[in-house]
Each structure stands twice: as structure tokens, then as C-alpha cells.
Amino acid sequence: MAQEKGKSTFSVKNFILKNNTYLILLVLFIVCSIVSRDFLTLSNLVNICQQYASTVIVSIGMLFVILTGGIDLSVGSIVAIGSVLSAYSLSSWGWGVVPSCLISLLLGTACGLFTGFLVARTDMAPFVASLAMMTMARGIAYMVSNGSPIMTPAGSISVLGTAKVFPWLTWLAVIAVIIVAVAWFVINYLSFGRITIAIGSNEEAVHLAGINTFPVKMATYAISGFCSAIGGIIACSRTGIGSPAVGNGLELDCIAACVIGGASLSGGIGSPVKTVVGVLVLALIGNIMNLLAVPSYPQDVIKGIIIIFAVLLQKVTNKNTK
């Protein structure tokens, strides 16, 4: 009986450790529901989906890079490029919504490819390569916009930002769900995903297995740039304005979301679904603080505490599940 009891306790402990990300979200959701009566309203929940759809998408791109053991600090600046270039194409060149979005996606992907080339071919540290791209991309955004926000034509891309499938489901949320589903499939069922995780776990072993890591590492940064450009398009569609200042500091939120979701910054560990949970944790914290009229600075402090807690919890989880 004692052994059976011990086994039962051990399994419960493992369950809690393996699902701590979901449990944190659940507890936070319950607390928010109790603290504010406005939290569970349909308008507020839809607003959360609208506001954080781009963060989810950009965080998924960041996850691919983190899985290789890298980091991409340029995502926020590439979001600015996507926002500004979409608005500029619509207003100054008179292009349609589709061509404007495509040119933004191409430039965002190209920025990611360049960062990936520096990391994979020249063996430059990901922090340094992406920091350089962060500076260049933000500069490009300010050059294109001439330092001023760009208004988009009425009824053009802004329709995407307000359109709803149902009263409780926005198109932006649908786009985010599709990208998360594709990322989950790629990571779990395609060889590209398995190689990406293997590079983060032990790149030398991947080399010894005869696998060329150069195109895979480049592709992960290209995916990050592509997702960031989508985030910029979404930001432009929500406000109807292309701003060179948008996405400032977004890279930190995306890294935080990945870490809260259990991703290891040393690579090889991470899940798209748990990354979304990480974004939702940050979203709920920001939302409940706004509902309670708490200033933005304490929100940053609380976010920092949660990141520290998530990293410590991740270490405990990895230690107990080995």
C-alpha cells in the first residue's frame, strides 16, 4: 500500500511539473475573473484576441530561432517595417492590399534571411547579428516613413483588423490559430522540425550525422522575419496607420512568452502551444492591470518577476523529469 501511495504521489507531482504552464494560466484566469467583473465580458475577451494576435504570431517565429539555441532581437523592428511598408504601398504607390502585404512579407523574410546568413555562415553570435538587424530594420522603417506615421486609405487594410467571423471570433485570431497549427505540425511531424530541435540540443552531433545545418538555421530566421512582417501587417490593419515606432520592445515580450511557455534559451526545448499559453499569461497580466487602472511601470515589474519565476520553474521541471 505504501508503494502504491508513493507512486500515486509521484505521478501527481510529475503531472503538475509537466503541465505547470497550463496551470499557471488557469490560476491566473480564475484570479482575473474574481478581481474584475469586466474581465469575463465578451468585448474584453475579444479585445485580448485582437491586441495579442500579432504577439502570438511573432512569438512563434521567435520560437523557431530559440529552438536552435539562437535569439532574434530584430523582430520588433521588422514588425515596424511590415507596418510602414504596407501603409506606404497603399497610400503612396496606390497598390492593393494583397500586393502591399506581399512586399512587406518579402522584405521581412529577406531581413530574417540576412540575419540567418550571418549566424549560420559567418558563425556570428545570434545576439550580435540580430542586434545589428534590429538597428538596420528600425532605420529602414523610419526612412520609408520619413519619421512620421502613414495613414492608410479608408476601408483598405483596416477592414482586416476589424473583421469578425463571429461576434466572438476575429479574423486576426483565426490567422494566429492557423500559424500556430502549422508551426505545431512542422515541429512535431516534419524532418525540418526535428532537425531544428536537434541543432539546439547538440549541433555537433547533427554535423556528425552528415546533416547540413546551414539551410535549416537560415530558414528559422527567415520564418522569424516572415512572422514579424505578418505582425506588422496586423498592427497596421488594427490602427489604419503604419508607424515606424510600432513593435518597440516586442522582442522582449516574445522571448518572455517563449520562456514562460517552457522553451529553453539554450535550445532544443519548446512548444508552439505552450508559447501561445506564455503569450496569454502576459496578456492576462496586462489586461487585468489595465482594468484595475494600474500604471504601466508596475506592469513591467510584475512581468519581470513572472519571467524569473518561469525560468526557475523550468529548471525544477527539467531536473525532476530527467
Could you tell me how far CA 218 lies from the centroid of its own chain? 18
291: cell is 482594468
CA pair distance 1, 126, nearest whole angstrom = 53
* Confidence at residue 8, expressed as pLDDT on a 0 to 100 scale: 46
Q: Strand runs (DSSP E) across 157-250, as ranges?
A: 164-166, 169-170, 241-242
Max mean pLDDT among 142-156, 182-196, 249-263 falls in 182-196
Instruction: Give pLDDT tens digits for 179-228.
Output: 999 999 999 999 999 999 999 999 999 999 999 999 999 999 999 999 99
Beta bridge partners of 241: 151
Model pTM? 0.92
> What is the chain's mean pLDDT, rounded?
90
Pick from 83, 97, 94, 73: which is nearest to 140 by CA?
83
Q: State what percent of residues in the chain have pLDDT above 90.
A: 66
- Give residue 302's pLDDT: 81
pLDDT at 308: 84
Long-range contacts of the stretch 140-143 (C-beta < 8 A, 24+): 140/81, 141/77, 141/80, 141/81, 141/83, 141/84, 141/244, 142/244
70-114 pLDDT tens trace: 999 999 999 999 999 999 999 988 899 999 999 999 999 999 999
